[in-house]
Chain A
């Protein structure tokens, strides 16, 4: 009975620690873990070369995508327009937007050169919101880039809702583009433009 009791205690302990591991992770830890895991994939010799491109991108996507609150990002890029969309259109927009961003950034992954240095500087937490400040050193350009992440807590997990690279917020930038388009066209036309863009990017990268 002694060892059974011990086993029960140990199992419960393991259950608790794995359940809490996610919740206990601070925003900075979450970012650091994500970025370093992505970097590991990009530098892994097993995934090097053009033949491995799709696998590489898929692996990075697996690591990075869950760290974003995709709906929140998409919602913020539409601003007041979000309220005017019904559930179906919202889903459609979120899907399109996620596709667009994925395709955009996977093409950029091809430019990755090893030797990048990462600095995770600080986090500032205010209730359920946080900002994480990091820097990336690019050896090719011999330049340091500032990349900050804005996050919020969802069900105990910190998720990203904006990336600010060199003082330019991604959400604000897309929002400006979409606002300009919506001032001249309908939502359906915006969606069409996004679909077209995703197609363009897909065909270009497979060449």
Chain B
């Protein structure tokens, strides 16, 4: 549901030509109409000699007006909804319970990870994924304890369809801020939609049930994750000079690395 809302919102934004907000915040002259490619410049993989730079001007962000609006919306959502919920949840859930719940939700993502490992021809990892699921669901009490990695050393391999696309050379497309979900790119959003389709629930349950369960799972995962990281977000505003830019860059750098692996 959230993905559908995001896609619709995106379409509206794109079709309306991304007008800048009247407020002083986005006082950009609308970013250059460069072909959308969030390919970040080849920075110091081989470090350039000091003084030499490899690009000029701010990174391409053609959807900036939309993104900046959604970014501040997400921060408000966090302030008024997510953080208080996570905070209340924290009072009743111990660290151990939260870690267990986190693993439970991650276990449910196994079909996507299995499929994407295969798509990328990572047979061994794909096999490990299935092995992990079976072990974790039976011995590990429905994924509550991550027996597979702790006892057997089988690591989870975190692949999603966005990364699969990246592997096959699909460029990431412009940086995109999803309502509620946060930073993304066009390629990764498409990936999100495809991965949803791969979930076995879609074939076993009615669409309403699936919708309710998925929303519940999404909400639960997010609250649990937020509760585990109460501290980290609290100060991120204090430590950056330009919060939007910092989040955008951190996200893109991490994605680049994830695709490479």
What is the interface of chain A, defined by CB distance below 8 A to chain B?
72, 75-76, 79-80, 82-83, 100, 104, 107, 111, 126, 129, 141-142, 150, 152, 161-162, 166-169, 171-184, 193-194, 197, 200-201, 204
Query: Does B241 lie within 8 Å of A129, measured CB to CB?
Result: no
CB <8 Å contact, B241 and A100: yes
B28 contact set on A, CB distance < 8 A = 183-184
**A to B CB contacts below 8 Å, 16 in the list:** A79-B56, A80-B53, A80-B55, A129-B47, A150-B47, A152-B47, A167-B256, A168-B253, A171-B43, A172-B43, A173-B249, A176-B59, A176-B242, A176-B249, A177-B246, A183-B28
Which of B246, B256, B258 is A173 in contact with, Cβ under 8 Å?
A: B246
Question: Which B-chain residue is minimally distant from A182 (CB atoms)?
Answer: B58
Whether A176 contacts B246 by the Cβ 8 Å rule is: yes
Given known A-B contacts A104-B239, A167-B257, A179 and B47 have beta carbons under 8 A apart: no
- Which single member of A161, A166, A179, A194 contacts B59 (CB below 8 Å)? A179
Contacting A at CB under 8 A, from B222-261, are: 228, 231, 235, 238-242, 244-246, 248-250, 253-254, 256-258
In Å, the complex CA distance between A90 and B5 comes to: 47
Q: Report which B residues bind A (CB closer than 8 A).
A: 27-28, 40, 43-44, 46-47, 50-51, 53, 55-59, 99, 228, 231, 235, 238-242, 244-246, 248-250, 253-254, 256-258
Q: Which of A82, A150, A169, A177 contacts B245 (CB 8 A)?
A: A177
Give every chain A residue within 8 A of B258 (Cβ-Cβ).
167
A174 to chain B, nearest CB (A): 8
Chain B residues near A174 (CB, 8 Å)? 241
Q: Is the interface of A mostly helix, strand, loop or mixed?
A: helix
Residues from chain A with a CB closer than 8 A to the CB of B254 are: 166-168
Q: How far is the CB of B163 from chain A (nearest CB, A)?
A: 14
Q: Is the CB of B249 within 8 A of A177?
A: yes
Q: Which 7 A-B pairs have the closest CB atoms?
A: A176-B249, A167-B257, A177-B242, A177-B245, A180-B245, A179-B58, A79-B53
Give Cα A75–Cα B52 distance, bound, in whole angstroms. Answer: 10
Which residues from B are CB-within-8-Å of A173?
246, 249-250, 253
Assembly CA distance A167 to B258 (angstroms)? 9
Residues on A with beta carbons closer than 8 Å to the beta carbon of B240: 177
Contact between B238 and A201, CB atoms less than 8 A apart: yes
Residue in A104, A142, A176, A183 whose Cβ sees the most chain B Cβ within 10 Å: A176
Complex contacts, B235 vs chain A, CB 8 Å: 107
How long is the Cα–Cα vector from A194 to B245 in the complex, in angstroms?
15
Instruction: State the Cβ distance, A8 to closest chain B Cβ, in Å.
Output: 42
Whether B241 contacts A177 by the Cβ 8 Å rule is yes
A130 CA / B28 CA spacing, docked (Å): 39
Contact of B57 among A111, A129, A171, A183 (CB under 8 A): A183
Q: Which residue of the partner chain, among A80, A168, A177, A200, contacts B56 with CB atoms under 8 Å?
A: A80
With A172-B253, A180-B58, A184-B27: A194-B44 Cβ-Cβ less than 8 Å: no
